[in-house]
């Protein structure tokens, strides 16, 4: 994410004095609520949805995620790359390719 976008999100919160409401628990709740609003876009159809509404709800999720990163003093690249390293170990290509199985249910490809 571009630094100016992150700064804009921070400024939005600061200008409204909303940091007082942004505890990690409140932000986690807000992320979940917004993620469910995103899911609602696909409630009745996987193909027939409003792309603009999807973009708005996805942006809401991202904004709250950035707020939580700021609140916890975390770096998005650092935590995503750490998680990807774990995922790559749990889901090696030779076992996971083409499979939706959870890591502990993966079988060797033949």
Q: Which domain holds residue 53?
A: 1-74
At 90, is the secondary structure helix, strand, or coil? helix
pLDDT recorded at residue 35: 98
Claim to verify: residue 3 and residue 51 sit in the same structural domain? yes
Claim to verify: residue 64 and residue 79 sit in the same structural domain? no
Claim to verify: residue 14 and residue 29 sit in the same structural domain? yes
Claim to verify: residue 83 and residue 107 sit in the same structural domain? yes
> Could you tell me the CATH number of the domain that includes residue 7?
1.10.287.1080
Helix locations, 16-75, DSSP H: 24-40, 51-72
pLDDT recorded at residue 110: 57
Q: What is the mean pLDDT of residues 23-35?
A: 98
Nearest-angstrom CA–CA distance, 31 and 19: 15
Nearest-angstrom CA–CA distance, 106 and 92: 9
User: What domain count does the chain have?
Assistant: 2
pLDDT recorded at residue 107: 84
Claim to verify: residue 37 and residue 48 sit in the same structural domain? yes
CB pairs under 8 A, 24+ apart, for 9-17? 9/63, 9/66, 9/67, 10/70, 13/67
pLDDT digits (tens, 9 = 90+) for 31-84: 999 999 999 999 999 999 999 999 999 999 999 999 999 999 999 999 999 999
Claim to verify: residue 54 and residue 5 sit in the same structural domain? yes
Average pLDDT, the chain: 95
């Amino acid at each position: 994410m571009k630094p100016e976008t992150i700064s804009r999100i921070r400024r939005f919160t600061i200008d409204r004095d909303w940091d007082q409401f942004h505890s990690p628990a409140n932000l986690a709740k807000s992320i979940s609520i917004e993620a469910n609003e995103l899911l609602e876009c696909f409630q009745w159809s996987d193909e027939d949805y409003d792309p603009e509404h999807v973009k708005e709800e996805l942006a809401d999720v991202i904004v709250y995620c950035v707020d939580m990163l700021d609140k916890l003093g975390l770096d998005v690249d650092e935590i995503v790359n750490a998680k990807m390293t774990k995922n790559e170990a749990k889901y090696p290509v030779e076992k996971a390719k083409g499979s939706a199985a959870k890591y502990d249910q993966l079988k060797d490809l033949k």
